[in-house]
Amino acid sequence: MIDKLLIDSLQKAVAELYKQELPENLAQVQKTRPEFSGDYTIVVFPLLRISKKGPEPTAEEIGNYMVSKLDEVTEFNIIKGFLNLSIADKYWNNFFNTNSKNSKFGSHVKTEKAPVVVEYSSPNTNKPLHLGHIRNNLLGWSVSEILANAGQAVKKVNLVNDRGIHICKSMLAWKKWGNESTPDSTDTKGDKLVGNYYVLFDQKNKEQIAELIESGTDKDIASKSTPLMLEAKDMLLNWEKGDEDIRSLWTNMNNWVYAGFEHTYNRMGIDFDKTYYESDTYLLGKKLVDEGLKTGVLTKKEDGSVWCDLSEDGLDEKLLLRADGTSVYMTQDLGTAQLRFDDFNPSQLVYVVGNEQNYHFDVLKLILKKLNKSWAEEIFHLNYGMVELPEGKMKSREGKVVDADDLMDEMYQTARQTSEELGKFNDFSEEEAHELFNMLSLGALKYFILKVDPKRTMTFNPKESIDFNGNTGPFIQYTHARIRSIIRKAEELKYNSDNQLPDNFDFESKEVSLLKLLHDYSEITKQAAQSMSPALIANFVYELAKEYNQFYHEISILKEEDIVKRNFRIALSNFVGNTIKSCMALLGIQVPERM
């Protein structure tokens, strides 16, 4: 690509002009800012200590060298310490002829490295998936696709938190107040039914806490010692002992939840290569804890609880087993990490988990190192900010959440209403309209979430996300549909857009602008994989769609009288459309053929 060509030429220029080797970190080439003429800019300031000259003479010498040595550079201008280079039309011509029909444009050669294991979703079986899970799922799935596009083997995995005190709370509430209700008998999705009993437990437990406080019990003690909480803890102990009745209830209620999860995942377009269950992995975690006790890495206190002292590492003590012998999240995460290493021998273990768990993963990595797991170095926590609504944060325990299913329903209705208000799609059949509204609603949801840098906390606004103008999924989807309409009309008119461009083809500035953006795509996909940020892809495809729409409004395509220009513009449109489709696929978004 041209930037590498320019860097190589810059290093040769420094070697010939100043008899020194230019360190790679000083060879800075970037795209020229829009307000200046030129295509690429070399930052000259870092070179002055080598040239022993001022910025302008140094830039002048390097500019003359590049024009004389590179056919791709036609001219240059100097703005203070910045050397702006103009790239020859011949380069863009060759780029177009080479890549416009390449179905794998933007993807990279597969590596021989061991797979990257990406964990995402990680739901609890005491509640349905909600808005926070949506960001987690969309981010994890898209990162997996971006890594695979970059040539990396990827294994997408899920860890279902199917055991623990929170699960027992739902089970106990159902047992006390469920009246043998089932998803079928209540016509309720299984995960929602179980989630309702989790909320009910919290409501009843708060009533008991209030009663204890009123009778004179300390607030902290009351919160831990209500009859309901004690009964839930007892249920967990009996679950770990294998009580048949409790295990049977646990299996039934979890199966209701799994059926609900599967429906939501399918609707969202999310899949996994393997699903792990905490009820399987916590025993392996306990085994690792036993090994740590034997080697002296871990210590057991008088009450029987097991801890890892991390004070010398700048952290505190971490509980691994409670006094009653029951395990905590860290226990099962130790076991799960070991199991994944045994299953895949991965080059990297990526955990897509919110940033409120930063400390947890610091501890996980450190404990595994102390247990002599050399692969612990390959653990990477891809943390992300929380998703909030315009009205504030969500609280699962209190039922103040936006269920993923409800949100997708709302997005569908918003897409339908917005489209009808704009008078679009009146010629679609009901089935076609349904498919399109579904595509638009999911595209709006996914794009709005993925365009934000993962590290940032974000506010999700459904109506803003569905806008057909601006930086939204529907705007990009509409651009693709517009391009496909042009291609269909060109085919009907039997216009030929398969010819190679002649060497002397004279580009319009808007055509070059599009080619420059398309030229960036391979590098963008590489950067997105390195940073594990779908936001780079999302914002690139928006810029491409925006630039194409300006091109569409300013330049004649099908009515162009010059046959060579007309056919090139059709082919360029097709190139842009295919790249938009490729970008959106990496985000998990479908694009319509017509709108």
Segment 377-388, tens digit of pLDDT: 999 999 999 888
Nearest Cα neighbor of 27 from 52, 61, 50, 1 is 50
**Alpha-carbon gap, residue 283 to 294, rounded angstroms:** 17
* Torsion on CA atoms 547, 553, 558, 563, rounded to nearest 10: -70
Q: How confident is the model at residue 395, as a pLDDT?
A: 46
User: Does residue 427 fall inside a structural domain?
Assistant: yes
Nearest Cα neighbor of 155 from 328, 310, 273, 279 is 273
User: Does residue 111 fall inside a structural domain?
Assistant: no
Q: pTM value?
A: 0.92
Alpha-carbon 124 to chain mean position = 21
User: Does residue 398 fall inside a structural domain?
Assistant: no
Mean pLDDT in residue range 320-335:
90
342 lies in the same domain as 201: yes
User: Does residue 401 fall inside a structural domain?
Assistant: no
Q: How confident is the model at residue 327, as a pLDDT?
A: 85
User: What CATH number is attached to the domain comprising 69?
Assistant: 3.30.1360.70
User: What CATH number is attached to the domain comprising 558?
Assistant: 1.10.730.10
Most distant CA atoms of the chain, gap in Å: 92
277 lies in the same domain as 191: yes
Look at residues 353, 388, 423 and tell me which one is the last residue of a structural domain: 388
Mean pLDDT in residue range 238-258:
96
**Alpha-carbon gap, residue 252 to 562, rounded angstroms:** 70
540 lies in the same domain as 486: yes
Q: What DSSP state is assigned to residue 310? A: -
Indicate the SS3 state at residue 382: strand
381 lies in the same domain as 418: no
143 lies in the same domain as 74: no
* Torsion on CA atoms 279, 281, 287, 288, rounded to nearest 10: -140
Q: How confident is the model at residue 496, as a pLDDT?
A: 87
Mean pLDDT in residue range 176-183:
96
319 lies in the same domain as 209: yes
Look at residues 44, 65, 87 and tell me which one is the last residue of a structural domain: 87
- Percentage of residues in the chain with pLDDT exceeding 90? 84
Tally the domains of the chain: 3
For the segment 520-535, what is each residue's pLDDT rounded down to a tens digit? 999 999 999 999 999 9
The DSSP line for 463-527 is HHHT-SSSSSHHHHHHHHHHHHHHHHHHHHTT----SPPPTT----HHHHHHHHHHHHHHHHHHH
51 lies in the same domain as 131: no
164 pLDDT exceeds 60? yes
Mean pLDDT in residue range 66-90:
94
Per-residue pLDDT band at 420 (split at 50, 70, 90): confident
Q: Is 378 left (phi over 0), alpha (psi -120 to 50) or beta?
A: alpha
For the segment 267-326, what is each residue's pLDDT rounded down to a tens digit? 999 999 999 999 999 899 999 999 999 999 999 999 999 999 999 999 999 999 999 888
34 pLDDT exceeds 90? no
Q: How confident is the model at residue 503, as a pLDDT?
A: 87
- In the numeric block, which tokens belong to residue 378? 């390959």
**Alpha-carbon gap, residue 450 to 511, rounded angstroms:** 28
389 pLDDT exceeds 60? yes
User: Does residue 221 fall inside a structural domain?
Assistant: yes
Mean pLDDT in residue range 172-187:
97
Average pLDDT score, the chain: 93
462 lies in the same domain as 570: yes
User: Does residue 158 fall inside a structural domain?
Assistant: yes
595 pLDDT exceeds 80? yes
Mean pLDDT in residue range 208-213:
95
571 pLDDT exceeds 90? yes
424 pLDDT exceeds 70? no
179 pLDDT exceeds 80? yes
Helices (H), 385-427: 404-421
420 lies in the same domain as 295: no
- Neighbouring CB atoms inside 10 A of 445's CB total 28
133 lies in the same domain as 234: yes
Q: How confident is the model at residue 401, as a pLDDT?
A: 67
- Percentage of residues in the chain with pLDDT exceeding 70? 98
Please tell me the number of Cα atoms within 13 Å of 117 on its side-chain side: 25
Q: How confident is the model at residue 396, as a pLDDT?
A: 42
The DSSP line for 323-375 is TTS-B-HHHHHHHHHHHHHHHH--SEEEEEEEGGGHHHHHHHHHHHHHTT-GG
Per-residue pLDDT band at 213 (split at 50, 70, 90): very high
Q: Tokens 């201008």 map to which residue?
A: 77
User: Does residue 546 fall inside a structural domain?
Assistant: yes
For the CA atoms of the chain, what is the radius of gyration?
A: 29
Residue 234 is part of which domain span? 120-388
β-strand partners of 379: 349
User: Does residue 406 fall inside a structural domain?
Assistant: no
**Alpha-carbon gap, residue 95 to 501, rounded angstroms:** 10
10 lies in the same domain as 56: yes
Mean pLDDT in residue range 322-344:
92
Q: How confident is the model at residue 418, as a pLDDT?
A: 84
- On whether the CB atoms of residues 508 and 89 are closer than 8 A, the answer is no
For the segment 448-506, what is each residue's pLDDT rounded down to a tens digit? 999 999 999 998 888 888 888 889 999 999 999 999 999 999 999 999 888 889 988 99
Q: How confident is the model at residue 24, as a pLDDT?
A: 85
166 lies in the same domain as 257: yes
